[in-house]
Structure 1
Amino acid sequence: MSEQPIPVSSGVSGASELDPEIAARLKRDDQGLVAAVIQQHDTSEVLMLGWMDDEALHRTLTTGRVTFWSRSRQEYWRKGDTSGHVQWVRSVALDCDGDALLVRVDQVGAACHTGTRTCFDGRQLPAVVGHADATTEGAL
């Protein structure tokens, strides 16, 4: 099921009620967005990646539900409003560079719009597996 947008009050370039101290720590891309990695709080399972502007982050921090900015639709959307697959916020952290968020959630149902538990289920790419005991010679 696809998620439906929630009402737009400002958009990426508009005003937000985000705490100015938090806003000052963010390093946004050229569209005013920060990547938000969504992780299941009790299993550490990575569920999905979404994008947030200042207003989406403000809504996430103040409502207990995860809100994203849809780059394709140019609208806010709150996970679970139409599907029932709600993401309940457990914690939000900013990375050391200020350009990514880690949002730990209690995910109800599927996180992916395709119906899978995560957006990464069944989408593995072929990769050489590295080993910690391998030498670094020849690795470069």
Structure 2
Amino acid sequence: MYSTVKMLHSYWAYLVLFMIVVATFNALYKTIAKKEYEARDFRLSLFTLIVSHIHLLIGIVLWFASDYFSEMSMGEIMKNATMRSNVVEHPLTMIIAVALITIGYSKHKKKLTSDKKLKTIAIFYTLALILVLAKIPWKTWLNL
């Protein structure tokens, strides 16, 4: 089960990264170009929200299914940079990124004008994208 969830988590991450990049650049472009907010923008930000939440749930299942804590104590994990990144830093950063996506999506729905809607999405999704790019385990991810 662990290997299946890990594979699903790894491959779903491509979809999540793609969606965050597309939604972010769409909002940035439309904000800078002063374009109107459309139903397509709403669907794009909503789909990004959905795939990121699904990915978070898969990651939580993976975290609890892992055997990190049976092999090492938390003190030992914190002393090992790779383990600390996998067990603490990556999950925490990704939770914050998903929270930023959620906040941005929720706040943009309350705005009344196109420029404010797009600017809100652009800000929160850009911050989430930066966090995701910073904590993707690139060495592991690119070797799949």
- Structure 1 length as normaliser, TM-score? 0.23
Q: Which has the higher contact order (CA 8 A, sep 6+)?
A: 2
Structure with higher helix content? 2
**Structure (1 or 2) with the greater strand fraction:** 1
